[in-house]
Structure 1
Amino acid sequence: MENPFLAFQQYLSGVSGLDLESTKILTCLVVSFPASAIFKRLPDKNILLKNVYIVAVSAIFIAFILQIRSGFFILLFNSMFTYVITRYYRSPLMPWVNFIVLMLLMCMSHLKSQFQRLNPEKVDIDITGAQMVLVMKLTSYAWSYRDGILYKKDRNRFNRELNQFQKSRAILSQPSLLSYLGYSFFYGSIVTGPSFDFADYHRFILTDVFDDVPAEKRPGKQRKRKIPHSGKVALLKVVQGLFWAALMFVLRPRFPTEYEVTGEFRHEHSFLYRICYMWVVSFVFRLKYYAAWTISEASCIVAGLGYNGYDPVKKKMYWNRVQNIDPKAFETGQNVHDCLEAWNMNTNKWLKNFVYLRCCNIDRETGKPSRGVLPTFATFATSAFWHGTMPGYYMTFIAGAIIQTVGRVFRHNLRPMFISKDGSNVSTFKKFYDLVCWVVTQLSFGYIVGPFLFLTFKRSMLLWAGVYFWVHVGSFAVFFIFNGPYAKQVKVFFQNRALRSTALQEPDHGTEKTELEAEKSEKAKDDILTHSNQSLASLPTFDKQSELHDSVGVLDVDMESNIDRINEEFQEWKREATKGKKAQQLTNEEIEHLKEGLTKLQGDLNDYIGSLDTLSDSKKKKD
């Protein structure tokens, strides 16, 4: 059978100069747009047709565009393994068994790809990229299914052990096989991602996620469709993606990666030139991900999967549900944490909610996870192992963990010299401090990303040796200064120079507070704390109102979000009041501010209780 996409791929490769693997991926991204345009015009209520269409388009991608028919069976086996084990293996260890098996299967694919690429004539695409995306989806599915079982068996434990994100992803009943395959093989993310949870797909395929779209915003003249227009938003994303791709084509020939391990690079250029060159190379390396992830997100937006709610006040729709990259935030990040939050965002969510927090011990009284060495190590090992088996991945992630720790040391000790903890007192040198942080962070990324590009241990060490291991040397110097024999004196030195909060500074009236004023101030503070404690005690629990959701396939937690929001704001008022109480310096203006805030929050609480009673009454009438 003649491949109808082969001529287009050859033409695209000739025009763009891309290799065959990149051309195939780009072809999938291009074809996904008309496929999504057709999908959103299918009948909203015909769930069977929509799932069949999704699986059919993905089959075309795999068989005719990517031409990895054997890879299709690998992906199918992974998917069916998770579907069967969640259905029939009722052990609490089910998510862990599923996780370990899927990771081992992916490791086998990584090793196969690694040995295949030793042959320079092997330029065809492999299955590892699609399998990496699928592993995130399937492991999160297994955990969400386990959370749904926990919800039905022990709601107190469910409420105590899971955060709001995990609760919102709980699956209360196993979906049909076709719906599950539609989730696993969604064509818009099968090659490059983004990954998303089954709860998002479930609400999307049922079109429940579009319930808040106003009637006038819905397309269709005679029969209104629920999925709103998103062409302009998607087009803007495509333009951004094409810009990153064009910039990559311009810069890549001018800054070749291989030049970093040549003798000319090491011996004929200054140290400053070398570390700046490495930073530019790392930026060029990121451009292909900016382009691919942004265009892939645009495809999901066209289909409607990217919809993330409507703001009736601003009359604005949000389309960032499956956003995977924020180039501006990464390139302007002043510390490692901020940069990583903007990079591969869905993978970060997966690592946090389905790896790190699942390894943490949960405090039975507070419900908060206890940090330790095991969760951190498990998250690091999972991230590196998920990427592959080459030494460069592990070298990059170890170096990344080191500079992230250094960043925390600086933030804890140096940052208070330029801005107080509450932000009320800012030094005139704060902008200079921010600039230095940005430069150091970006140059450090250029250093640690090097092994990710070269992958082999020998060439990675050669690269780092060419810049004297400056990040490692500097990091260990920081550890010695702040944790060595003079650590106490160093920390006291910085503490004495930290800026104090202007909000807690006593006005200079030339006299001390009278005992009567102090007594009144203390009483006011105690009243605020009593008020906030009583208000928090009156909050309805999640377990009380969760009975309304017994029949829902995927747990709906919009009402619980309101509880958490009110709870968090009350806790904020408590912290402010407690801080003032300890300092003995809470002003009358601050007392009134706290009272006003608590009154407003109490009003929100009353509104919530009223809506809860209405839902309860309606359920009783229905029963």
Structure 2
Amino acid sequence: MAAPWMEKLSESLGSSEPAVRLILSVLIGYPFALIYRKCFFRRPPCAVHLFHTLSGLALAAFNFGSQLYHSAVCVVVQFLLLRLMGRTVTAVLSSFLFQMTYLLCGYYYTATDQYDIKWTMPHCVLTLKLIGLSFDYYDGGKERSQLSAEQQSSALSAVPSLLEVCGFSYFYGGFLVGPQFTLRSYQRLVSGELTDCPGQPPSSVLPAMKRFFLGLVCLTIFTVGGPYFPDSYFLTEEYEAQPFWFRCLYMLIWAKITLYKYVSCWVIAEGVCILCGMGYNGKDEKGVHQWDACANMRVWHYETTPLFTGTIASFNINTNAWVARHVFKRLKFLGNKMASQLLTLLFLAVWHGLHSGYLVCFSLEFIIVNVERKVMAVVRDSPLLMRLATSPLYPLIYGVQQLLHWLFMAYPLVPFCLFTYDKWLKVYSSVYFCGHVFFFTIYLILPYLRKGLVPRKGEDVKKDA
């Protein structure tokens, strides 16, 4: 039942009530982090787990009411799988199948043709967290020599208690929108290890406030710009009547603003993790303390990189790292990197939801990334293109490259945000499938460009002589 004050606040902000509840919940993480620093730092683990569990459940109840039972069921089942099945492949597979099936059933029964904030939103974050927990517990039973350095740092030497799994799952810094972190990182937080001041709470207030204010800037951009560039405009006759260049420009600006919806939440949530210590990442090579262990966005790199791979590397970092660690690298037995990449992107598409738009988005990502890698290989191997890349003309080249980069980053986002076949197909038809045409054309002509721009080895030897 909606509270009158929430209705009034939502109306005054011009936003939906679930969206306002979500952003308030992310912001509430800051006072929770201050309470942890003041009252629970280096206190008995049971007290810390209980605080994290109750605070996370309070946020779940505030946002989703009685539907918080979905997360509770999955947390308890995951604990039982660890206890009853032990460190076995069967336990890992059972965990993967149960958690993914529960999530997909949630998507199926709650799906609409628009973006809704409902219990499945934090549940997709929780699903990865619990599946990762089963992998880490399984790795803990192997010889250390069999594990990569990454696996060694996250492997669990003992089965966690139910209260510990609950604290890990409901930790206010990552329950609603992420980031992903391992149980070992959470255990280090509880034991007071994640601090730059041994024995004392971390001196992380300033780094946390920097992320907080950066998140507010991003949120302001989305809040102010969003109403001027709504998703619904793509489906109007007015949009179709606009010139081709306008339709493409609208798509570009719409995408830049829309993505700030995610950027703002991740950056603000990162500040919460930094404030309590979860974001502590040791010292760099210069001895400077780092606070980026929970960074889900590298905002400067995200805004300035002209490469699609650069954008992917700076966006939703912890989720991408989770998928790389637990899906891509564990598909190594296939012996085919491209097949592993394709299956990984398929997993990501299904994990996001059951709409066709997700499959289209991630299939386009697969195409775009592989075409870009082939183009970059030609540039590296071509003396002429390398001279252009280091010439005074580079700022102009960078500008054109960045414009194309932003446009074709927006292109896959259309089906991601419009979800259904009839909507995204209508938009793609209105821009003449320009993204598909552009990248398939480049793919087809690349062999000829390589022949014309990259000298053969024999020619290189002649020139050197």
Scaled by the length of structure 1, the TM-score of the pair is 0.69
Deviation (angstroms), 1:95: 1.6
**Is the counterpart of residue 469 in structure 1 residue 465 in structure 2?**
no
Other-structure match for 2:211: 237
Query: Are 1:40 and 2:37 matched, yes or no?
Result: yes
Q: Which residue of 1 aligns with 2:63?
A: 66
| Aligned-pair CA distance for 1:176 | 1.9
Change (3 A) 1:442 1:418: farther
Match for residue 81 of structure 2 among 81, 85, 90:
85
Unaligned runs of 5+ in 1: 216-224, 363-369, 507-511, 513-623
1:397 aligned onto 2:400: no
* Alignment CA distance shift 1:466-1:420 (3 Å): closer
The whole-number CA distance in structure 1 between the counterparts of 2:57 and 2:28 is: 13
Moved more, 411-420 or 440-449: 411-420
CA distance in 2, matches of 1:103, 1:54: 25
Which residue number in structure 1 is paired with residue 246 of structure 2? Answer: 273
Given candidates 18, 21, 30, the residue that maps to 1:21 is 18
Q: Cα 1:419–1:193, aligned 2, differ >3 Å: closer, same or farther?
A: farther
Residue 460 of structure 1 is matched in structure 2 by 424
Residues 226 and 419 of structure 1: CA distance in aligned 2, closer, same or farther (over 3 Å) = farther
Report the equivalent of 1:561.
none
1: CA distance, partners of 2:380 / 2:228: 37
- The residue identity in structure 1 corresponding to 2:191 is L
**Contact 1:275 1:467 (8 Å CA) reproduced:** yes
Supply the AA of the counterpart residue of 1:466.
S
- Kindly indicate whether the alpha-carbon contact (under 8 Å) linking 1:51 and 1:182 is maintained by their aligned counterparts in 2: yes
Q: How does 1:465-614 map to 2 (within 5 A)?
A: 465-482=429-446, 487=447, 489-496=448-455
Quick check: 1:393–1:451 contact (8 Å CA) kept in 2? yes
Aligned to 1:356: 328
2:153 matches 1:168? yes
Code of the aligned partner of 1:82: Q
**AA at the equivalent of 1:193:** G
1:406–1:478 Cα contact (<8 Å) kept: yes
- What is the letter of the counterpart of residue 453 of structure 2? F
Between 1 and 2, higher relative CO (CA 8 Å, sep ≥ 6) is seen in 2
Residue of 450, 474, 478 corresponding to 2:414? 450
1:321-400 equivalences under 5 Å are 321-361=293-333, 370-400=335-365
Tell me the equivalent position of 2:224: 250
| 3-state secondary structure, aligned to 2:227 | coil
Q: 1:469 to 1:340 in 2, by over 3 A?
A: same
1:307 aligns with 2:307: no
State the partner residue of 2:256. Answer: 283
SS of the residue 2:141 aligns to: helix
Q: How many angstroms apart in 2 are the aligned matches of 1:494 and 1:93?
A: 53
Q: How far apart are the structure 1 equivalents of 2:442 and 2:414?
A: 22
Structure 2 residue 132 is the aligned partner of structure 1 residue 140:
yes
Cα separation, 2, equivalents of 1:205 and 1:419? 56
Q: For residues 92 and 384 of structure 2, what CA distance do their matches in structure 1 show?
A: 44
CA contact (8 A) 1:68 1:127 kept: no
When residues 459 and 311 of structure 1 are mapped into structure 2, their CA distance, relative to the original with a 3 A threshold, is closer
How many Å apart are 1:8 and its aligned residue? 5.2
Confirm or deny: 8 A CA contact 2:41 2:201 kept in the other structure.
no
Asked if the contact 1:418–1:426 (Cα under 8 Å) also holds between the matched residues in 2, the reply is: no
State whether residues 383 and 454 of structure 2, in contact with CA within 8 Å, keep that contact through their aligned partners in structure 1.
no
Indicate if the aligned counterparts of 1:418 and 1:430 stay in contact, CA closer than 8 A. no
Instruction: Sort the Cα spacing of 1:313 and 1:376 in 2 relative to 1 into closer, same or farther, 3 A.
Output: closer
Structure 1 residues 125-204: aligned runs within 5 Å: 125-151=117-143, 155-156=144-145, 158=146, 162-204=147-189
TM-score w.r.t. the length of structure 2 is: 0.91
C-alpha root-mean-square deviation of aligned residues, in Å? 2.7
Counterpart of 2:312, as a letter, is L
1:490/1:186 Cα in 2 relative to 1: closer, same or farther (>3 Å)? same
Distance 1:374 1:300, change over 3 A: same
Q: CA deviation at 1:43?
A: 4.5
SS of alignment partner, residue 226 of structure 1: coil
In the TM superposition, residue 183 of structure 1 has moved relative to its aligned partner by 0.4
Q: CA shift at 1:464, angstroms?
A: 0.6
Give the distance between the partners of 1:339 and 1:313, measured in 2 at CA: 27
Of 411-420 and 326-335, the range deviating more from structure 2? 411-420
Provide Cα deviations, 1:151-175, integer angstroms capped at 9, x if missing partner.
Answer: 2xxx44x1xxx43222211111112
**How far off its partner does 1:33 sit?**
1.4
Tell me the alpha carbon deviations over residues 230-263 of structure 1, each in whole angstroms, 9 at most, x when there is no partner. 2222222111111111111221222222222222
3-state SS in 2 of match to 1:136? helix
Change (3 A) 1:43 1:445: closer
Work out the CA distance in 1 between the residues paired with 2:304 and 2:373: 18
User: What letter corresponds to residue 61 of structure 1 in structure 2?
Assistant: L
Aligned-partner residue type, residue 306 of structure 2: Q
- Structure showing greater Rg: 1
Q: Which residue among 223, 228, 234 is the counterpart of 1:260?
A: 234
Gaps of at least 5 residues in structure 2 are none
